[in-house]
Structure 1
Amino acid sequence: MNTTPVLYLMMGLLFGTTFLSVGIALGYWFSKRGQPDYPLSSSSHPLNSLAPAVPSLDETQQIVNAIRNFATWTTDLAGDFSRYQSTLSSLTRRAADGSSIQTKEDVQVLLEQIVAANRLLQERLDSAEQKLEDQTKQLAGYLSEARTDGLTGLANRRAFDQKIEECFSNWIKSQRLFSLALIDIDHFKKINDTYGHPAGDAVLREVALRLKDFSADTIQVARYGGEEFAILLECDAMAAAQVMEKIRLAMCDRTVPAEGHDIPVTLSCGVSQIVAEDRIGKLVRRSDEALYTAKMAGRNRVFIHHGQLCEVFGNPSPTGIVQANTGQDPGASSSSDALEEKILRQIDHILAKHSRSV
Structure 2
Amino acid sequence: MHCLGSVDERRVGRSLSGDPKLLGTTSIDGGRGMHDIIVMASLVACGVLCGWWLRGGLAQEGPPSDAPSSSRIDRALEHLRSIASGVADDLGEHHTRIAEIHNRLQEAARAGPEHLLRVVGELIECNEEMQRQLQSAETRLQHQAREIASRSEEAHTDPLTKLANRRALDVALEEGWEQHRRSGTPLSLLMLDVDHFKRFNDRFGHPAGDAVLKGVAHVLRQELGGDGVVCRYGGEEFAVVFPKRTAREVARAVERCRESIAAQTFSFEGAQFRITCSTGLAELKGEEDTDEMVSRADEALYQSKKAGRNCSHWHDGRRVRPVADAWTKRAVRTPEGWEEKLDLEKTDFSAGISTQAVFMADVSRRLAERHRNGTALAVLLAKIDDYDTIVAQHGDSAGRAVTRAATLLFKATMRDMDHVAEFSEGTLSLLLPGCRLDGAVTVAERLREGANRCRLPQKRFPPERFTLTIAVAEAEEGEDASDLVARIEDAVASTSAHGSNCTCALEGKETRLIGIGDISLAAGDNA
2:192 counterpart of 1:183: yes
Q: Residue in 1 aligned with 2:75? A: 65
2:52 counterpart of 1:23: yes
> Which of 161, 174, 177 in structure 2 is aligned with 1:168?
177
2:224 counterpart of 1:195: no
Q: Residue in 2 aligned with 1:267? A: 277
Task: Provide the identity percentage.
Answer: 30
Task: Please state how far the C-alpha of 1:227 moved relative to its aligned partner.
Answer: 0.8
Change in Cα spacing, 1:282 to 1:61, as seen in structure 2 (3 Å) is closer
Specify the code of the residue in structure 2 equivalent to 1:150. Answer: P
How is 1:79-94 mapped onto 2 (pairs within 5 angstroms)? 79-94=89-104
Task: Please state how far the C-alpha of 1:32 moved relative to its aligned partner.
Answer: 8.2
Q: 2: distance between equivalents of 1:132 and 1:159?
A: 26
Alpha-carbon contact 2:80-2:141 (below 8 Å) kept? no
How is 1:257-336 mapped onto 2 (pairs within 5 angstroms)? 257-314=267-324, 318=438
> Which of 220, 224, 236 in structure 1 is aligned with 2:246?
236
TM-score of the superposition, structure 2-length normalised?
0.53
Q: 68-77 or 103-112, which moves further after superposition?
A: 68-77
Q: 1: distance between equivalents of 2:133 and 2:438?
A: 70
Change in Cα spacing, 1:266 to 1:11, as seen in structure 2 (3 Å) is closer
Change in Cα spacing, 1:295 to 1:176, as seen in structure 2 (3 Å) is same
Q: Residue in 1 aligned with 2:150? A: 141
Number of equivalent positions? 302
Q: 1: distance between equivalents of 2:289 and 2:240?
A: 17
Deviations along 1:189-232, one digit per CA (max 9) or x if unpaired, are: 11112211211111111101111112343331111121110001
Q: Residue in 1 aligned with 2:16? A: none
SS of residue matched to 2:190: strand
Alpha-carbon contact 1:32-1:54 (below 8 Å) kept? no
**Structure with larger RCO (C-alpha < 8 A, sep 6+):** 1
SS of residue matched to 1:218: coil
Q: 1: distance between equivalents of 2:285 and 2:198?
A: 35
Q: Residue in 1 aligned with 2:167? A: 158
Change in Cα spacing, 1:18 to 1:216, as seen in structure 2 (3 Å) is closer
Task: Please state how far the C-alpha of 1:60 moved relative to its aligned partner.
Answer: 3.9
TM-score of the superposition, structure 1-length normalised?
0.76
Q: 2: distance between equivalents of 1:113 and 1:92?
A: 11
SS of residue matched to 1:20: helix
Specify the code of the residue in structure 1 equivalent to 2:49. Answer: L
Alpha-carbon contact 2:44-2:80 (below 8 Å) kept? no
Q: 1: distance between equivalents of 2:164 and 2:198?
A: 23
2:95 counterpart of 1:75: no
Specify the code of the residue in structure 2 equivalent to 1:106. Answer: H
Deviations along 1:117-141, one digit per CA (max 9) or x if unpaired, are: 1111111122222211111011111
Q: 2: distance between equivalents of 1:317 and 1:309?
A: 28
Q: 2: distance between equivalents of 1:5 and 1:224?
A: 50
Q: 1: distance between equivalents of 2:256 and 2:86?
A: 58
Alpha-carbon contact 2:247-2:283 (below 8 Å) kept? yes
Task: Please state how far the C-alpha of 1:93 moved relative to its aligned partner.
Answer: 2.4
Give the number of the structure whose alpha-carbon radius of gyration is greater.
Answer: 2
Specify the code of the residue in structure 2 equivalent to 1:302. Answer: S
Q: Residue in 2 aligned with 1:356? A: none
Specify the code of the residue in structure 2 equivalent to 1:85. Answer: H
How is 1:244-255 mapped onto 2 (pairs within 5 angstroms)? 244-255=254-265
Mark the runs of 5 or more structure 1 residues left unpaired by the alignment: 36-51, 322-347, 350-358
Q: 1: distance between equivalents of 2:210 and 2:78?
A: 37
Alpha-carbon contact 2:108-2:119 (below 8 Å) kept? no
Change in Cα spacing, 1:89 to 1:290, as seen in structure 2 (3 Å) is same
Provide the aligned C-alpha RMSD in A: 2.9
Change in Cα spacing, 1:14 to 1:257, as seen in structure 2 (3 Å) is closer
Q: Residue in 2 aligned with 1:326? A: none
Mark the runs of 5 or more structure 2 residues left unpaired by the alignment: 1-24, 325-412, 414-435, 442-513, 516-527
Specify the code of the residue in structure 2 equivalent to 1:243. Answer: A
Change in Cα spacing, 1:25 to 1:273, as seen in structure 2 (3 Å) is closer
2:216 counterpart of 1:207: yes
Alpha-carbon contact 1:94-1:101 (below 8 Å) kept? no
Task: Please state how far the C-alpha of 1:268 moved relative to its aligned partner.
Answer: 0.9
